[in-house]
Amino acid sequence: MSAVIDPTAALDLLKFDSNGLVAAIAQQHDSGEVLMMAWMNRDAVIETLATGQVCYWSRSRSRLWRKGESSGQRQRLVDFRIDCDGDTVLLCVDQEGVACHTGRRHCFYTAVRPEGLVEIAPVLVSPDQLYGA
């Protein structure tokens, strides 16, 4: 997505929760791999559509979180989609490096299997490398 997009129509369609947030799922645009889930507020939606770089709302830090600002693992927006209820967005992205703060490609690395919990994705980059020790 190279052009700046007017966010007005998207903001009118989105149904933010009582905290002013909407769920956002990031998916690798070309493989369909689900990378992560996070939250966006109005400002994060506006910034994402204006810049083409994905921005979320960090509930733990209570501030905007520009994906990759400290790790360098950025997400470039390819397509912004809104679900039928308007309460979830699908961000089709081009993920630079890993998406998970644990150093894995995606955040969904624990599978529940008959034998118990199984880690199905390896750590590709140590968190110390990503964020500095």
Distance CA 67, CA 58 (A): 10
Identify the DSSP state of 84.
T
In degrees, to the nearest 5, what angle opens at C-alpha 70 toward C-alphas 69 and 72? 70
pLDDT for position 70: 85
- Full set of structural domains in the chain with CATH: 7-101 (3.10.20.810)
Distance CA 131, CA 48 (A): 23
Is 55 annotated in a binding site? The answer is: no
Is 30 annotated in a binding site? The answer is: no
Q: Chunk the chain into consecutive blocks of 10 residues (it has 133) and report each block's average pLDDT, rounded to whole numbers.
A: 77 97 98 98 97 96 92 94 97 96 96 97 92 73
Is 100 annotated in a binding site? The answer is: yes
Closest CA to 24 of 97, 107, 129: 107
Tell me the longest C-alpha to C-alpha distance in the chain. Answer: 49
- The pTM assigned to this predicted structure is 0.90
Is 87 annotated in a binding site? The answer is: yes
Distance CA 101, CA 126 (A): 9
pLDDT for position 72: 87
pLDDT for position 82: 98
Contacts (Cβ under 8 Å, ≥6 apart) of 82: 10, 13, 14, 88, 89, 90
Is 92 annotated in a binding site? The answer is: no
Sign of the C-alpha dihedral computed for residues 47, 1, 129 and 56 taken in this order: positive
pLDDT for position 4: 67
pLDDT for position 3: 64
pLDDT for position 1: 55
Half-sphere exposure of 111 (CA within 13 A, CB side): 8
Which amino acid does the sequence have at 38?
A: A
Is 94 annotated in a binding site? The answer is: no
